[in-house]
Amino acid sequence: MNYLQIEFTDPPSCAGSVYSKLKRKIKRRPLRKFVLDVLSFTGKDKWELSILFCDDQFIHTLNKNYRNKDEATDVLTFAQMDLETEFPTVSDRFNAGDVAISLETLEKNSEYFNVSVNDELKRLLVHGILHLSGMDHANNDPDQEMLVYQEKILAEFPQVMLI
């Protein structure tokens, strides 16, 4: 059984913002089910991870502090452990790490790539999970192994509505 924690930041002046609008629209139960189904589909068991939804300002700060990139981004992952390291835990769970998603950049991406906000949200969630799984990509070329696998996973869940 996998464990998932979902959090939302509360920016000081978010009333009426893209972040605030999307935060209200996200369906939390379907979101939880989707992430747990993706973990199951990818063969992950006893994983513990958290997902943080934030605005561009928050993810910009994370990106600057942890990646030395002075810009907002769509998704960041913070792995907690080396996937090859065995470690004992009380709960026998694997603490995979954290996924941070900017709802503002998510909406910009959906417009740029001409996809629904729902599809882009699913893509960013899967993308974060794959990074926590140890996968990576050098650029955004869709022929890279991680991105091909990402699209394969998404094809398994076309009817899922998170927003």
Write the CATH number for 94.
3.40.390.30
φ and ψ at 102, to 5 degrees?
-85, 120
Q: Is residue 109 part of a domain?
A: yes
| Nearest-angstrom CA–CA distance, 14 and 20 | 6
Q: Are 101 and 128 in contact (CB under 8 A)?
A: yes
Q: Is residue 126 part of a domain?
A: yes
CA–CA distance, 82 with 147 (Å, rounded to integer)? 21
Strand-strand pairing, 47-54 and 94-102: parallel
- 136 in a structural domain: yes
pTM: predicted TM-score of the whole model, two decimal places: 0.91
Lowest mean pLDDT among 23-27, 28-32, 87-91, 139-143: 87-91
Q: How many residues does the chain have?
A: 163
Domain housing 102: 3-155
Q: Residue 163: inside a domain, yes or no?
A: no
Q: Is residue 80 part of a domain?
A: yes
| Domain assignment present for 55 | yes
Looking at residue 89, its pLDDT comes to 54
Q: Indicate the number of domains in the chain.
A: 1
27 part of a folded domain: yes
Instruction: Answer yes or no: is 133 within a domain.
Output: yes
Q: Taking Cα atoms as reference points, which of 83, 90, 81, 3 lies closest to residue 47?
A: 3
Segment 19-52, tens digit of pLDDT:
888 999 999 999 999 999 999 999 999 999 999 9
